[in-house]
A and B are shown apart, each in its own frame.
Chain A
Amino acid sequence: MSVPPAIAGAAPPCGEMDVLEKLTVLTDAAKYDAACTSSGGDRRSRAGYIGNTTTAAAGCCHSFSADGRCVTLLKVLLTNRCVYDCAYCVNRRSNETVRAMFTPEELADLTVQFYRRNYIEGLFLSSGVYRSPDYTTELMIRTLRLLRETYRFNGYIHAKAIPGTAPELVEQLGFLADRLSVNIELPSEAGLRALAPDKTKQAILAPMGQIRVRNQQSREELVKYRHAPKFAPAGQSTQLIVGATPDTDFHILRLTQALYDRYRLKRVFYSAYVPVVENPLLPSRDTKPPLLREHRLYQADWLLRFYGFRAEELLEPDRPDFDTRVDPKCSWALRHLDFFPVEVNRADYEALLRVPGVGVVSARRILVSRRVRRLRIEDLPKLGVVMKRAQYFLTASGRMAEGLRFTQDSLLRNLIAAERPALPQAVFEQLSLFAPA
């Protein structure tokens, strides 16, 4: 390549770029960020304003991109110019790439016009660090204020809080956005030091703590004053990059758990590292993104949030990574066969949730239905229980599924077979029936 790296990090003029080009550049630069949901809002519409955030609890996907990920917000960067030089990031200072920057008007217009056509649920605004964290955040605030006040946009806004931003600015941002997020990026301090020398653990955790406290205060004020302004009413989330550093699943899951416990995060997102650069500190360019590992982490994340599991139950220091062959719940069940079989007519909700193939919905249905009559095995599929997994772990009125014979070995084989069709295609090659445990 003969392109001189001269303009990197500086601010090349980009006045001639039209909105379509800017949108292309700044979407492309934002796409690796996984944290994109529209959940947690419940704001009704207002006269003279555009939109609401009432698709509430579940959030709302407006499309799915070719990689199968939900598209719910207009996810773009304000600018991909960045003074930082994080090794894993496409927008790092030293990378030769086209740089662009939206004007606040362009971005507000795109958001409102996309929203009116029901393309999106709102805006996800992130940015490279342009000049300084404070300067960038002020630009973001200006954009969001224009969108909220002049364009009268009442839909969902998710904004990134950039580590190192002054607390007063994070405060302003929180009153404009529904959700804030601070990206942890790398799951360990050692990783940060090596790959993101401009960021520190402290700089990341400070705004997280601030958001937690302000969110809590805002809730208390709302109890006293009905019209008190809401600070990030949909809470905060974060993202971790998986596979860029040698951190184990156990380490990541423990970190996740601490974030839920201590910082009251709504979600932790995992992003399988897609190699974007050749760097001795990073996996080589031909490494495939660890999609299966990411999948297992999400499964475990669900177990933490909805199934009452703790990280220490799922993994241990001497077994720090997830089994690639079966999901974390099956894996737990196989190591705790003495816990099973669970009797569906007697077991409590927590015990039902531990059965592979029984989820939150089917467990609730079991609880409702068994008050009317005793359940039989053949009733369970009708309640949504996935029998190909569950049958080995439960009884109904003291009986297992008819004709079911298995040993500890065949059990594992059967569960692996049950799992295979559910996995993303890309990870098929990584699976082998004969791989060592």
Chain B
Amino acid sequence: MTEIIYEYDGSFEGFLSCVFESYLCKELPTAFSSGEELPSSLFPVRTVLTDPERAARVYRKVAKLSPEAADLLRRGFLTCLPEKELCLYRLTAKLLEQGPRFLRDLSDETLLPVLRAVRHLNGEVHQYKGFTRFSDLGGVLGGEIQPKNRVLPLLRRHFCDRYRNERFFLYDRTHHEALFYQEGKSLICPLDHFRMAPTDETEARYRLLWKRFYDTIAIRERENPRCRMTQMPKRYWGTMTEFQGESYFRPTAAPAGVSGSAAPAGIPAPGTPPAPGPSAPGSAP
């Protein structure tokens, strides 16, 4: 077998086409590359064109040998595992060579890195089901997330079912792509330039209400920042309403036809703890 670097378009089908290519040409890829940075190395580089038919053949074969492995490939491809293509390639090759038995050995050295990466992905998907925040932008819900893995394809069903009668979009800052949904149809597509629409009075009000609820629900005597951090690492905080700075709770545009007086006077600065008066009696020293 000769050794070679494959360059492909970065899609899942493209990757499967690479697998097909390697078997066709009896080559062992030492690295995969998609896009700008080519690894500088002594090995020759070849561009593999994506061929849906070849990709489907590889996928069908894998799924026939083991449906779990097919799922692992699809999910594994969404992870942020370094050199994920190589890991997935090795997994596929081992499956084609040895059959699916080794997949049940959960400490197998080819399987384990993929398994760990997919667990990480699944965990992040679960977290984002809760930690995603939307804003009402004049009837359309819009949100932003900043995940490590490509979670949008796996969040799609959840949010499309939950907000079935809404129109919404969810933008992934890390991978520059967005999920759009409207009337039963959804779409994930790349999006390079994204800016969130301005906030109106009503939206700012609900953000403030939520922030107030969040600050009030904590029991001061039980404060435990480390526990909170374990459950909800700081990297999620950036896109969560309750951790935003003051300006986030002020409107950036007045809604059409409503004058500035819609908000009740005297909204306290966001982030300030609730006034001592109505708070829990007995909680003060």
Contact = CB atoms under 8 A, between A and B. Distances in A.
A114 interface: yes
B11 to A, nearest CB: 29
A54 B158 contact: yes
A67 B223 contact: yes
B186 interface: no
Interface stretch (A92-100, A296-304, A314-322): A92-100
Contacts of A272: 222
B206 A372 contact: no
Nearest to A21: B278
B132 interface: yes
A383 interface: yes
Contacts of B191: none
Interface in B28-51: none
Given A55-B129, A117-B206, A66 B143 contact: no
A93 to B, nearest CB: 13
B161 A277 contact: no
Interface string B151-184: 0000000100111111000000000000000000
B196 interface: no
B105 A32 contact: no
Q: How large is the interface on B (under 10, 10 to 19, 20 to 34, 35 or more residues)?
A: 35 or more
Interface string A10-45: 000000001111011101111110000000000011
Interface residues of A, number: 77
A65 B106 contact: no
Contact of B274 (A24, A70, A96, A118): A24
B219 to A, nearest CB: 5
B217 A31 contact: yes
A276 interface: yes
Contacts of B126: 58, 60
A113 B126 CA distance: 22
A75 B282 CA distance: 20
Interface string B127-162: 001111111100001010000000000000010011
Nearest to B210: A119
A29 B280 CA distance: 7
Contacts of B101: 372
B128 to A, nearest CB: 10
Contacts of A341: none
Given A119-B133, A368-B104, A71 B219 contact: no
A67 B222 contact: yes
A425 interface: yes
Nearest to B264: A18
Contact of A383 (B106, B226, B264, B277): B106
B231 interface: yes
Of B101, B105, B209, B213, the most chain A CB neighbours within 10 A belong to B213
B199 interface: no
B45 to A, nearest CB: 35
B98 to A, nearest CB: 11
B218 interface: yes
Contacts of A114: 206, 209-210, 213
A26 to B, nearest CB: 9
A365 B278 contact: no
B277 A98 contact: yes
A47 interface: yes
A118 B222 contact: no
Interface in B203-250: 206, 208-210, 212-228, 230-232, 240-242
Contact of A67 (B104, B132, B219): B219
A68 B282 contact: no
Contact of B134 (A20, A68, A97, A116): A116
A398 interface: no
Interface in A313-364: none
B106 A365 contact: yes
B42 to A, nearest CB: 34
B281 A95 contact: yes
Given A27-B213, A117-B241, A51 B162 contact: yes
A344 to B, nearest CB: 12
Given A60-B129, A66-B228, A24 B278 contact: yes
A132 interface: no
B194 interface: no
B2 interface: no
B259 interface: no
B208 to A, nearest CB: 7
A191 B208 CA distance: 40
A385 B195 CA distance: 45
B105 A424 contact: no
A424 B217 contact: no
A128 to B, nearest CB: 14
A291 interface: yes
A177 interface: no
A87 B107 CA distance: 55
A63 B214 CA distance: 8
A405 interface: no
Contacts of B72: none
B28 to A, nearest CB: 26
A427 B242 CA distance: 27
8 contacts: A23-B213, A28-B274, A46-B164, A61-B231, A64-B231, A67-B218, A116-B141, A119-B133
Interface of B: 101-102, 104-107, 112, 126, 129-136, 141, 143, 158, 161-166, 206, 208-210, 212-228, 230-232, 240-242, 264, 267, 274-275, 277-283
Interface of A: 18-21, 23-25, 27-32, 44-52, 54-55, 58, 60-72, 74-76, 90, 95-98, 100, 110, 113-114, 116-119, 121, 272, 274-277, 285, 288-289, 291, 365, 368-369, 371-373, 375, 379, 382-383, 424-426
Top 10 A-B pairs ranked by shortest CB distance?
A: A68-B227, A276-B282, A65-B218, A382-B107, A67-B222, A66-B218, A68-B224, A98-B278, A372-B105, A379-B107
Given A52-B161, A63-B242, 14 more contacts: A20-B264, A23-B212, A27-B217, A32-B280, A44-B161, A64-B231, A68-B230, A75-B217, A110-B209, A117-B206, A118-B130, A119-B133, A274-B222, A369-B107
